[in-house]
């Protein structure tokens, strides 16, 4: 159990275009999902916290207008990188935390999406 999927697994796009990444919890409901960015040989940096039915909470330094997050249901959150530029190239990882009442504090991670902006 506790499987999280991401789609696509990798994407190449031209500079200036927008890219949408989906994160799904496959076998549990998640009121909260998290979006991370991981640079090569570095740790995960939290970008934003996505709560179902409300606005996302962004970490300091993360542009909310550039990284649009929508958490439309208890099993789906999307991250849209708008007007992508080469410096946005990175590995984007989502995680999901089971809904309140499940007694579970653990985050389960998706396989990540590698974005390359040309």
Partner 1 sequence: AQSVSQHNHHVILSEAASLELGCNYSYGGTVNLFWYVQYPGQHLQLLLKYFSGDPLVKGIKGFEAEFIKSKFSFNLRKPSVQWSDTAEYFCAVNAPRNTGTASKLTFGTGTRLQVTL
* Residues engaged in binding partner 1 (CB under 8 A): 32, 34, 41-44, 46, 49, 57, 93, 95, 97, 100, 105-112
Nearer to partner 1, 54 or 86 (CB): 54
Q: Report the 10 Å Cβ neighbour count for 97.
A: 20
The nearest distance, CB 63 to partner 1, in angstroms, is 19
Q: What Rg value do the Cα atoms of the chain yield, rounded?
A: 14
Give the whole-angstrom CA distance, residue 65 versus residue 17.
Answer: 14
Diameter of the chain measured on Cα atoms: 44
Nearer to partner 1, 72 or 100 (CB): 100
Closest CA to 73 of 59, 87, 54, 88: 54
Residues 6+ apart with CB under 8 A from 97: 30, 31, 32, 33, 34, 104, 105, 106, 107, 108
Is the Cβ of residue 3 or residue 18 nearer to partner 1 in the bound state?
Answer: 3
Q: Which is nearer to partner 1, 54 or 87 (CB)?
A: 54
Q: How far is the CB of 106 from partner 1 (least distance, A)?
A: 6
From the CB of 16, what's the least distance to partner 1, in Å? 29
- Residue 100 Cβ vs partner 1, minimum distance, rounded to whole Å: 7
């Amino acid at each position: 159990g506790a499987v999280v999927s991401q789609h696509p697994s990798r994407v190449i796009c031209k500079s200036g275009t927008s890219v949408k990444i989906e994160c799904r919890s496959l076998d549990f409901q998640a009121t909260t999902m998290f979006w991370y960015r991981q640079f090569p040989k570095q740790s995960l940096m939290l970008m934003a916290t996505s709560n179902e039915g409300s606005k996302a909470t962004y970490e300091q330094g993360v542009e909310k207008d550039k990284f649009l997050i929508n958490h439309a249901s208890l099993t789906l959150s999307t991250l849209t990188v708008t007007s992508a530029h080469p410096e946005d190239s990175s590995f984007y990882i989502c995680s999901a935390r089971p809904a309140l009442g499940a007694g579970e504090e653990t985050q389960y991670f998706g396989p990540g999406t590698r974005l390359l902006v040309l």
